[in-house]
Amino acid sequence: MKKTNTISYRPDGKLTVLQVSDPQDLVHVRKAMVQMLDRAYDLVRPDLVLFTGDNILGNHLLDARIGTRQVAAGEAATRKAMRASLHPILWPLQKRGIPFAMIYGNHDDRNLISKEEQAEMFRSYSMCLPMNTQAPDLDCDTYAIRLTDAQGQVRQVLWMLDSAWYDKAADRCYEAVKPETVVWYRRESEALRAANGGTPVPSLMFLHIPLPQTYGLLQPCAADAPDAVQTPQGPMRLDPVKAAGVLGEPPSVLTDDGGLYDALLTQQDVMAVVTGHDHCNCFVGRQDAIDFIQTPCASFRCYGNAQRGVRVFRLDAAHPDRYETEMLTYRDLCGDSLPARLRYLWDADEYEKKKFALLGAGLALLSAAAGIRLLKTKR
């Protein structure tokens, strides 16, 4: 485990951050995702990788290469299965010497193992940042990553906030930011501002579940519009004046932001709020001088679409009030060859039924061919 939540810019003053959202897999990880992530690490060569929630599927009792079967029962077996599930996404970074950090999503603690125990699994890798180890009143995945220049000055900050927790006793998942998290953010933001001569330190904020204000980027539309998505507010699409990208499903937002958005407007240090959670949404929008960035899933075990991939952020110590971002999809990273297409089709969750249908048809053809050969032999 790294000693501090501090990352230095490269000698040229640049820094590249790679976001992986919703890898959400189990013991028998889908190879398409691992291959995609490997290509991303080698192509982008990030200085830091951030896992932004739903790092595992959450239920380790049913898993198989094809279909489902029980592979773990009880706390010890579940813990072992969880370690095995995390290893395919963490070891590639460890062997490349790339620092990484994480936050949790709504799926991560839907099992017998606590968030703190899961954090220790991440921390067992020497390239993992320590996360929250000093504020017991906060979640272990609520902390700030400081980006420092050659003189040790903090030029930018990456805020990492917990946004979902599971109440095992009530069997209920709370998709909300806790008020104490917002109090902490305000306090830390003020301290950074004071140390920076009274000027806010530009930052990016990462949390798993989108803010309720995301709906401000949408506009009502006809139900039969080609880009329409049915939402709780009726058919909507991205407002082209405010946002650009793909709206593939209705935004599933926080039930309560704990006052976070108001705090962002007051502190004026967050350039962009970056989220995951909605597997099929991939867009960038802007309102109230804050960018809203939605990153789709990396997982192939869960539902998704052709937007599957990773998001890249490019930062510069010389211009801390700016950033650049782009998405790299599976196709961008793995190509469009026949083997790459077949790997995608075989591993993607939404093709599961078609996969079994193809297997059934193939077996039927083989059985028919064997029957014909047997009939000819008898003759």
Would you write out the chain's pLDDT as a tens digit for each of its 379 residues? 999 999 999 999 999 999 999 998 888 889 999 999 999 999 999 999 999 998 988 765 566 555 566 666 778 888 888 899 899 999 999 999 999 999 999 888 777 788 899 999 999 999 999 999 888 889 999 999 999 999 999 999 999 999 987 776 777 777 899 999 999 999 999 999 999 999 999 999 999 999 999 999 999 999 999 999 999 999 999 999 999 999 999 999 999 999 999 999 999 999 999 999 999 999 999 999 999 999 999 999 889 999 999 999 999 999 999 999 999 999 999 999 999 999 999 999 888 666 655 555 555 555 655 555 655 555 5
Amino acid at 110: R
Query: Cβ distance 302 to 290 under 8 Å?
Result: no
Residue whose token pair is 């969880």: 82
Q: Which residues of 319-349 are buried (b: 16+ CB within 10 A; e: fewer)?
A: ebeebebebbbbbbbbeeeeebeebbeebbb
Residue 142's Cβ-count burial label (10 Å; 0-12, 13-18, 19+) is buried
Amino acid at 71: V
Residue 281's DSSP bridge partners are none
Residue whose token pair is 């991440």: 122
Give the model's pLDDT for residue 60: 58
Give the model's pLDDT for residue 75: 80
Query: Cβ distance 305 to 296 under 8 Å?
Result: yes
Q: What is the phi/psi pair of residue 307, to 5°?
A: -80, -10
- Contact partners, residue 288, CB within 8 Å, separation at least 6: 213, 265
> pTM of the entire structure?
0.90
- CA dist 132 and 120 (Å) reads 11
Q: What is the torsion angle, in degrees rounded to the nearest 10, for the CA atoms of residue 144, residue 147, residue 148 and residue 149?
A: -170
**CATH architecture, range 6-347:** 4-Layer Sandwich (3.60)
Q: Annotate the chain with three-state secondary structure.
A: CCCCCEEECCCCCEEEEEEECCCCECCCCCHHHHHHHHHHHHHHCCCEEEEECCCECCCCCECCCCCCCECCCCHHHHHHHHHHHHHHHHHHHHHHCCCEEEECCCCCCCCCCCHHHHHHHHHCCCCECCCCCCCCCCCCCCEEEEEECCCCCEEEEEEEECCCEEECCCCEEECECCHHHHHHHHHHHHHHHHHCCCCCCCEEEEECCCCHHHHHHEEECCCCCCCCEEECCEEEEECCCCEEEECCCCCCCCCECCCHHHHHHHHCCEEEEEECCCCCCEEEEEECCEEEEECCCCCCCCCCCCCCEEEEEEEECCCCCCCEEEEEEHHHHHCCCHHHHHHHHHHCHHHHHHHHHHHHHHHHHHHHHHHHHHHHHHC
The strands making up 309-316's β-sheet, listed across from edge to edge, are 100-103, 48-52, 14-20, 309-316, 324-329
Give the model's pLDDT for residue 63: 61
Q: Report the length, in residues, of the chain.
A: 379
- CA dist 209 and 107 (Å) reads 11
Q: At what angle do helices 260-267 and 179-195 cross, to 10 degrees?
A: 10
